[in-house]
Structure 1
Amino acid sequence: MRVSFCQLLLTGAIMVNLVVLYYVSKTQQQMLKHKDPGRAASRRSAVSRVTGITVLIREFEDFENWVVGVVQSFLKERPDQPIVVVADRLPYPPLDLPDKRNVQVVLLQASPDQPYYVTRPEFYIKTEYTLLVPDGVQLDSTQQLDRLLRELEASKGKVRMVAAPVQTAATFQCLNLRVSLKEWSAVYSLSPAQVCDAVGGEAVVLLRTEDLFNLSRPMARPLTASLFVQSALRGWRVKAADSVVFSAHQRSLFMSAHSQWKADLNAKARLGRLFRDFRLKHVVQADGKEQWHGCGKDTSRCFGTVHDDTPEYLYENRWTPPCCLRALRETTKYVIGILESSGVRYWLEGGTLLGAVRHQDIIPWDYDVDLGIYLEDVENCEFLRSLDSGSVVDENGYVWEKAVEGDFYRVQYSESNHLHVDLWPFYAREGIMTKNTWTDHKQDVEFPEHFLKPLVPMQFAGVNALAPNNHRRFLELKFGEGVIENPQYPNPAKKRLEKMD
C-alpha cells in the first residue's frame, strides 16, 4: 500500500499537535501545583511524606494571642521550618504572619467557592511528623525538636506520641485514661509511670502525621484533650518527656483579667462541647471531680420512645447513659422514701429485682425501675390516691401520674425528663398476688403471696430497699431457670447480649 505525500503531511501535523498538547497540559499542572499546595498535597499518599517536622498551631484565641511570636521563634532557630496555623474561620484581628511559603493558614470553615481540600490541614503537611504547639510557646533551640524526635523513634512503636511540658505548666503529669463508649464515660487517674494514656497540663506533643489525621476528629478543640480521648480508644500510648521543657513567652498571654476570664470561659465551653460531641456523658477527672454532660431535670432524657423493649442505644452497642442511671437512682430513692413514710408496702419487681441481685443496682442497660405495691395501700399515699385523672407535680419537681397504658402508676424524674419508676398495684386473691392490668412481658405473671411474707431488705441503687424473700425462686418463676447467671437484653430477638464485660 502506497502512502501519499498528503497522508504523510497529515500524520506529521497530528503528531506535532499531540506533542504541543502534552507540554501545555504539563505546564498547566505545574502552575496549578505552584498556585495551590493543597491540591498538590491531596495527590500525595502518607508514604510519600518526607522526614521532618511540621509545627501545627491550633490552640489560640482570636481576641488576644501570641501566634505571631510563636511562629517567629521557630523561624528564628530554623528559617525553613514548615508551620501550619489552623483556625475555624479567619482570625480577627488578623494575624500578621511572615509572608513565607513554609507558613500556611488553614481555615476549617468551608466556603462554597473553594474545593474541599483547602479546609483540610493534612493536605498542607508534607512531613512525616507533626508537632502540636499551644499558643505562647517559643522554641529556644532546634535541639528540642531533635530530642523529641529521637525519643519517638527510639520507642520503636511502643509509644505513638511524646509530650514535653511548657515552662509554666506546673500541672504537667502522666495520666491513665479509660474511655468506655459503651458506658458513655471517661475516667482519668494519675499515673506514676512516664508512659501513659494522656498528659495533663499544657504540653507540646509530637506524633506521626499519619496517626494524627487517621483520627476521626484530628482538629477538635481542646486539641490535646481531644487527641488523648481518641488515642486512648485505639490503645495508643504517650511518653512524658519532661527532660525537654519548652519556654513560654516572657509576658502573660492574656494582659487583662477580662481577657483571662474570656479565655477560661471559652476553654470550659470547648471541653464540655468536646465531651458532648464525643457522647461522653460522665467524666471523672484525675482529682476525682465528676463532670456530667448528659440529661438533667431541665432537659429531656437521652433516648426516645422504646420499641420492642429495646432502647435505641442498644443498637449502637451502648448501655444506658450514666446520667439516665443517675436520674433513675435519684427517683427510686425518692419514691421509696415516700412509700415508706406513707405506709405503702412495696417490693423490687421484675428486672429491677434482677438488677439488685446481680449488681445491687439498676441493670446497666435498663431504662426504668419497677416496684410492686399493695393495691389496698394506695389510699395511704396522698400523691397516689389523688391520681384518678391527670397528674401531680410535687414540691421537688417529680411528676406522679396514672399511666395511660393501664391500671398502674408512674413517677417521672421531672416534667421535662420522663425517666421513671413504675408502681404496679397487686392484691391477694386466695393466696395469689394478681392485678388488674397485664403486659405482654413473659415475666408479668401472678405469684404466691408467700414471697412477700416477709419482705426482706436488699441493697439497690444506693438505698436499703425491700424485696421478696427467696429471690432466686421468685425470679426463676418470672423469667425462667438460670436467669441470674445468664444475663440477656430484654428482647433477644431484636438485640442479643453477646458477652458481659
Structure 2
Amino acid sequence: PGVTIILRDFEDFDNDVVGTARSFSSSSSSSSSSPVVVISDSPPYPPLPFPEEGVRVVVLRRDLRFSPVLNDPRLFLRTRHVAIVPDRTRNPGVVGLLEKLRDTVEQSGGATRVAVAGVTEGGSPTFSLRCFHLHVDPRRWTLRYTADTGDTGGRCGAVESSRVVLLLRTRDLLSLPFPFSRPFPDAIFIQAALRGWGVQILGGGDYFPAVPLPPLNPHAAWKAQNLREKRREKLMKDLGVKLEVFEGGKERWFGCNRDTPRCFGTIQEGTPQYLLEGRWTPPCCLRGLRETAKHVVGVLESSGVRYWLEGGSLLGALRLGDIIPWDYDVDLGFYREDAGKCRWLREAEEEGGRRGGVEDDEGFVWEKAPQGEGGVYRVYWSRTNRLHVDLWPFYPRDGGVMTRDEWTGHPQDVEFPEIFLRPRIPLPFAGFTAMSPNNPRKFLQLKFGEGAIEKPQYPNP
C-alpha cells in the first residue's frame, strides 16, 4: 500500500528539493505523508539538510569506495505505486489527490498506466494541461508529436508541460530501460508511448500546489538551459532517437550533420550494422544523402555531363520517389567521356586521392577512388561526414553496349544496352528531379531480375 514520492528533476545550484521532500515525507505533520526517495546523479553540492526520517537520498554515480547497492534506487521503492514529483511541489495537505491518481490507474482495466496531475503556483491554475499523441518509430529513429483528436477516451501519449506529477505502478516504472533518466517527464512519456501505455490527465481541476520559482540570474539561467539541452541529447542518444517532429512540422535533430561523422561505420559485406539491429538509415544521414545528391546532380547538369540514376537509387526513385529507407549511399552512372566537362571531376582525377579529395565551393569533397574499387568517383557531404554519392563511369563499346573498365563483383554490376540512355528521362528523386534510363522498369529487371520493384529486399537477404 501507499505511494513513494520520487524527486529527480532538480538542479544543484538552484532548488527547493529539501522543502519539497519535507512537505511529502513522514517527517511532516500531514496525514497524507509518504516515503520520499531523492535521486541525484552525484552527491548534492552544497550538501542539503534533508530530514533524517522519511527521506532517502540515492546517488546514481558509483563510488569505488562503496557498495553499488547504495546506488540502486530500486531497493528503496517498496510501495505498489510511485509518484514522480517536480521540485518546488507541495503536498496538498489533504488525503485524496495521490489517491485519485492511483485510482485513475487501478480502475482503468490496464488502459491507463500513467496518471498525470498538473502543478500550479499561487492558487487556482491559469492554464490547462494539453494532451498530445506521441508516435515512437525506433526503425526510423524518430519521435512524432501530433494533436489530440479527442478520440481516445481522454488518454494520450504525452502532456505539454514539465510541471506535472506522474503516478504509475512501481513495477511498471522499473520495467523501463531508463526509469530515472532526465529530462522529466519526457523520458517517461517516450518509453511509455513505445509500449502503448495510456497516459491520462486527472480530471476535475485538481492540481498540486507549488512555491513560486524565483527568477534566475543570467549565469544560472544559461547554466540551466545548457544542462537541459545536454540531458535531452543524452536521453535521445540512449533511446536511439535522431529526430523529433512536433505538431506543425517543427523539427529537432540529434543525429549527425556536416560537421560530425556519419552515424554508422564502415559497411561490411554490403549490410550496415543498423539493419542488423532492426533499424533503417538514420534520418539525419538520409538528409545528408539527399543534400549531397541534389548538389552533385546540379553540378553535373550545369557542366553538361550525361548522368543517370543507377542501382538502388533508381529502385528508390520508382518505388518512393526517394532514397530507399535503408540505403546508405546514392548511385549515379555517367558517360566517362564527359568527365572532362566537369571541373571537380577533372580535379579529382588529377589529385588521385593523394590529399583526400578536392573540396568544391560549397564544401562537398570530390574524390577518385583507388584502383580496384570499380573506377568510381565519390562526392562526400563534407571532409568530416563521409556520406557520399558514387559516380560510376561507363562508356559505349562496339555494339552499343555500356561497359566499364573495372567491376566490383556486385550482382547488379553488369553491362547494358546504350539504348536505355537514348534518351534519358526525368524522375522525381529525393526532393528534386534527376535523370533516369528511358525504360527504368526494364533497366532494373536487367540489373536485379523480375519483381525487384514490387518486392523490396534488404541487402544479402
TM-score in terms of structure 1 length: 0.85
Q: What is the Cα deviation at residue 253 of structure 1?
A: 4.3
Aligned to 2:158: 198
2:36 aligned to 78, 83, 87, which one? 83
The whole-number CA distance in structure 2 between the counterparts of 1:142 and 1:289 is 42
Aligned to 1:138: 90
Deviations 1:385-440 (A, max 9, x none): 12232321112111101111232211011111111101111111221111111111
Gaps of 5+ in 1: 1-50, 493-501
Q: 1:287 to 1:313 in 2, by over 3 A?
A: same
- Secondary structure of 1:132's match? strand
2:389 maps to a residue whose letter is: V
The whole-number CA distance in structure 1 between the counterparts of 2:328 and 2:138 is 17
- Secondary structure of 1:264's match? helix
Asked whether 1:164 is paired with 2:117, we answer yes
Q: What are the within-5 Å matches in structure 2 for residues 357-396 of structure 1? A: 357-386=318-347, 387-388=349-350, 389-390=352-353, 391-396=357-362
Deviations 1:135-163 (A, max 9, x none): 11112233211221222222121110101
Q: What is the Cα deviation at residue 217 of structure 1?
A: 1.0
Asked whether 1:230 is paired with 2:180, we answer no
Aligned to 1:41: none
The whole-number CA distance in structure 1 between the counterparts of 2:120 and 2:259 is 42
The whole-number CA distance in structure 2 between the counterparts of 1:138 and 1:367 is 52
- Secondary structure of 1:331's match? helix
Q: What are the within-5 Å matches in structure 2 for residues 206-355 of structure 1? A: 206-242=167-203, 243-249=205-211, 251-355=212-316
The whole-number CA distance in structure 2 between the counterparts of 1:299 and 1:259 is 29
Asked whether 1:182 is paired with 2:139, we answer yes
Asked whether 1:60 is paired with 2:10, we answer yes
**Partners of 1:148 and 1:244 within 8 A in 2:** no
Larger C-alpha radius of gyration, 1 or 2?
1
Aligned to 2:70: 118
Q: 1:277 to 1:223 in 2, by over 3 A?
A: same
Gaps of 5+ in 2: none
**Partners of 1:52 and 1:128 within 8 A in 2:** yes
The whole-number CA distance in structure 1 between the counterparts of 2:327 and 2:120 is 48
Aligned to 2:390: 422
- Secondary structure of 1:364's match? coil
Q: What are the within-5 Å matches in structure 2 for residues 471-486 of structure 1? A: 471-486=440-455
The whole-number CA distance in structure 1 between the counterparts of 2:78 and 2:306 is 72
CA RMSD in angstroms comes to: 1.6
The whole-number CA distance in structure 1 between the counterparts of 2:307 and 2:320 is 20
Aligned to 2:20: 70
TM-score in terms of structure 2 length: 0.92
**Partners of 2:303 and 2:341 within 8 A in 1:** yes
Q: What is the Cα deviation at residue 254 of structure 1?
A: 4.4
Structure with more of its chain in helix, by fraction: 1
Q: What is the Cα deviation at residue 172 of structure 1?
A: 3.0
Asked whether 1:173 is paired with 2:130, we answer yes
- Secondary structure of 1:64's match? coil
The whole-number CA distance in structure 2 between the counterparts of 1:219 and 1:286 is 27
Asked whether 1:403 is paired with 2:372, we answer no
The whole-number CA distance in structure 2 between the counterparts of 1:94 and 1:190 is 43
1:67 maps to a residue whose letter is: V
- Secondary structure of 2:3's match? strand
Asked whether 1:432 is paired with 2:401, we answer yes
The whole-number CA distance in structure 2 between the counterparts of 1:320 and 1:103 is 46
Q: What is the Cα deviation at residue 79 of structure 1?
A: 6.7
Deviations 1:217-237 (A, max 9, x none): 111111311111111111111
2:45 aligned to 89, 92, 108, which one? 92
- Secondary structure of 2:176's match? coil
Taking every aligned residue pair, what percent have the same amino acid on both sides?
49
**Partners of 1:183 and 1:321 within 8 A in 2:** yes
Q: What are the within-5 Å matches in structure 2 for residues 448-487 of structure 1? A: 448-487=417-456
The whole-number CA distance in structure 2 between the counterparts of 1:253 and 1:213 is 34
The whole-number CA distance in structure 1 between the counterparts of 2:178 and 2:414 is 50
The whole-number CA distance in structure 2 between the counterparts of 1:453 and 1:467 is 10
